Structure 1
Amino acid sequence: MAAGDPRGDPLALGPEPEPAASAAQSRWGDQEPAAEIQFKILRGHSDTVSSCHFCFEDTKILSCSYDKTLKLWDVAKGFPIQVFEEHKAPVSECNVSPDNKRVVTSSHDNTVKAWDMETGKMLWTIEHEGIVTSCNISWDGKYVVSGSDRENAIHIIDAANATVVAHVQGHHKSTITRCCFDPDNQRVTTVSYDKAIKLWDMITQSTSITIKEGHTNAISDCCFTSDGHYLCTASWDRTLKIWDVKTGEFRCHGPISLNQGHEGSISSCLFSQDASLVVSGAYDQTVAIWDTDAGCKKLSLKGHLDWVTDVAISKDKKWIVSASKDSTLRLWNVEKMDRLPSVMESRKARGSKIAQCEECEKPFSYLHCSGSEAINKCVFCRLSSPVRNVLPLPPSVPPEL
């Protein structure tokens, strides 16, 4: 999602001139000369690509753009097989239902629309009083949430009959940049330019958690782990933070911070299916892949000619897709990234070790220092424990709650 300020990166260092795209780069199947990571370029949008998702078991990619269109791409063929064209202004975000049958979009034309994926037919439209900055479908496909810049409000929509079942005005003090359901379909999380994180309860129709000043600058994106236990937030302060929202452990210990991965404001973030990785995109034109256990960046993907606005990762963690202000999407093959000399050297330099978690039995990496205690649980099992003595991650200051 293009959650950043469209007028410019507030913390940009000043981009260096980029070489003009060569004729060879216009073909499907491109790869950077001598690149460690192969990639393919998807061209078809004529303006900023604001949102991207894998769907249909990672065989398709859904994208939307400021060119007012939504496109469904065939990954193998590399071109759009379905185009949705009904919006009258830039499309800020797109989201696909769990069964891949429906698509919802939000737009600067003040509407949220639902579409039939197979036919491309528009099913319904909900008018808002202001620009709709974000939208999301619940994990059970029953509801849609949208965020509007008018009164910084969220709308909960019944997806079956297209009726607004809740309208929360003044939910934030500034524009909502992202809204999403948790996997249990019980709470809606929103983040905003006001630096706050809020979780709104679907049953009580009230805000259950508010984290004030969750970051030191505007928060651009948020995402849950697949079990709903942890929430990751991305910010213009160039950091990612992981919050234990299931137990509220962050109230005592604060979040886990992931930093030193980008030189520009971070625009987007997403967990892998197993939560072992976090992928982020930023205004420095790069995509970062983070090891959540070791708490550090594994790899940077470079190639976009402008801001990276959104990222997605396939369920098998073999592919990453990124959307950009340069009007393209890039499909990166990261299946063998752990074998790259730069990744192995970095792990060795950090003293990173591989172990098996005694609780969930999944392999995890950790930083081992001479004289340090042995670590026998992955970061998520440690976060879930009442006592957390060892956390090989950058320290963070608990936010004001």
Structure 2
Amino acid sequence: MALKNIDPLSLDDPTEGGEEEVPVKVLRAHSAGLTAAHLCFHDSRILSSSSDSTAVLWDAERCVPLRVFDGGHGAAISECAVIPDRNRMVTVSWDKKMIAWDLETGQTLWTSSLAGLLTSCSVSCDGRLVVCAADLQSGVYVSDAASGQTLHHVSDLHRSTVTRCRFDPQSQRIATVSADRTIKLWDLVAQKTTVSINSNHSNVVSNCCFTNNGHFLSTASWDKTLQLWDLQTGAFWSRGGASLRTGHDGSVSSCSFSADANLLVSSSYDRTVAVWDMSTLCHTLILKGHSDWVTDVSISADKKWVASASKDGTLRLWNIENLEETPEVIEKRRSHGTGIHIVMCEECGKPFSVSRLETSELLTKCVFCRLKSPTRYRPQPPPLMSL
């Protein structure tokens, strides 16, 4: 499907393309643009936040709001995050407050007033810690998820606004991206930045996400591209990140990996959602239907559903269960093949095959030559599968 130039400020509703091929449900409860959408609780619920200063917990099957969380914030909620195994969530806002909520009762559990507009939040996988990004001093606050007490305040982490912060799946490091176009990994044990990357992006880095095993990080940017970074081998030091291009006509606002890392979904100010095949690093499907900027995106663990949040005030739930049967994906498969690439071993000269994500750019030796010199090669376990 060919993309056309779209004015991101226009409110005309696109009718061509993905909306006809992919079933979609439109969820309405917010009175202003949405800022976040997260599938949670084994994909049975969706959590959304909005510029209307509220958050909503949705039943994903019935597509109805179960509870509206309001009265806590006095300005736009920039992001929300579930606290694992606690039936709680946190929200952060431009009113400089981070609030923890009880999802069952809707009551606030604690409120933390911090310095600066709060732009992002993330909860560690063990549910113990919350990190939020603050515009003032371009840094982050790491807090106790149970009490809201600030444990670490890292100021001047970046030279400009921190646009997104994310815990890695092991709850050991925090990734931050910024308007200064850099990527940082801050180590919780060492309490310092252990990795700093000057990205390939030519504009603001707006978002980031980890694969479930923590080996790869994807970044989204206002330069209309995404980059893929192999954190395990560190090959980006010499080669930069692998680039994902031509999926969007506008600034990319968000990205999210599937649990098995085979798919990546991204959203954009061009009002679309893109589904990327990680074996080829090419987009296979463009989902159209939102009438304004798409601000956030999430994919279910079983890869059947994509949730998207938009400035148009709606949350959309796209059914991509039959992704492989859509005409656009069939055509992409013909164009790009299976995603398996043949590489010549630099040591023995024999050919061997690799998938794109296991990376034809990063692997240069066949398995037999790698096994002969294990100290020079760090093998990559397969991505963790969802239960």
Name the TM-score class by shorter chain.
0.7 to 0.9
SS in 1 for 2:328: helix
Correspondence for 1:63: 48
- Determine the structure 1 residue equivalent to 2:281: 295
Q: Give the secondary-structure state (helix, strand or coil) at the position aligned to 1:165.
A: strand
The two structures have a TM-score, normalised by structure 2, of 0.86
Instruction: Determine the structure 1 residue equivalent to 2:369.
Output: none
**Aligned pair 1:239/2:216, yes or no?**
no
Distance 1:374 1:43, change over 3 A: farther
| Alpha-carbon distance between aligned partners in 2 of 1:255 and 1:248, rounded to the nearest angstrom | 10
In the TM superposition, 1:2-401 aligns within 5 A as 14-15=7-8, 18-19=11-12, 35-85=20-70, 86-99=72-85, 101-350=87-336, 352-353=337-338, 365-366=339-340, 376-382=353-359, 387=364
Q: 4+ residue stretches of structure 1 with deviation over 4 A?
A: 15-22, 31-34, 383-386
Give the whole-Å Cα distance in 2 for the aligned partners of 1:260 and 1:164: 42
Q: Where does the alignment leave 5 or more consecutive residues of structure 2 unmatched?
A: 344-349, 367-387
Q: Is the 8 A contact 2:341 2:353 kept in 1?
A: no
Q: CA deviation at 1:55?
A: 1.2
**Residue segments in structure 1 that go unaligned for 5+ positions in a row:** 1-11, 23-30, 354-364, 390-401
Task: Compute the displacement of 1:78 (Å).
Answer: 1.6
Q: Deviations over 1:53-106 (max 9, x none)?
A: 111211110000000001001122222111111111100000112226110111
Percent of aligned pairs sharing the same letter: 46
- Change in Cα spacing, 1:338 to 1:386, as seen in structure 2 (3 Å) is closer
Q: Distance in 1 between matches of 2:118 and 2:139?
A: 10
2:34 and 2:316 map into 1 onto residues whose CA distance is 11
Shift of 1:126: 1.1
CA–CA distance in 2 between the matches of 1:158 and 1:76?
Answer: 33
In structure 2, the partner of 1:356 is: none
Deviation at 1:380, TM superposition (A): 3.6
- Secondary structure of 1:14 counterpart: coil
| In 1: Cα distance, 2:157 partner to 2:54 partner | 29
Q: How far has the Cα of 1:337 moved from its partner? A: 1.2
Relative distance call for 1:100 and 1:242 in structure 2 (3 A) is farther
Question: SS of the residue aligned with 2:75?
Answer: coil
Let me know the Cα RMSD of the aligned residues: 2.4
Count matched residues. Answer: 355
1 CA distance for matches of 2:184 and 2:18?
Answer: 45
Offset at 1:247?
2.8
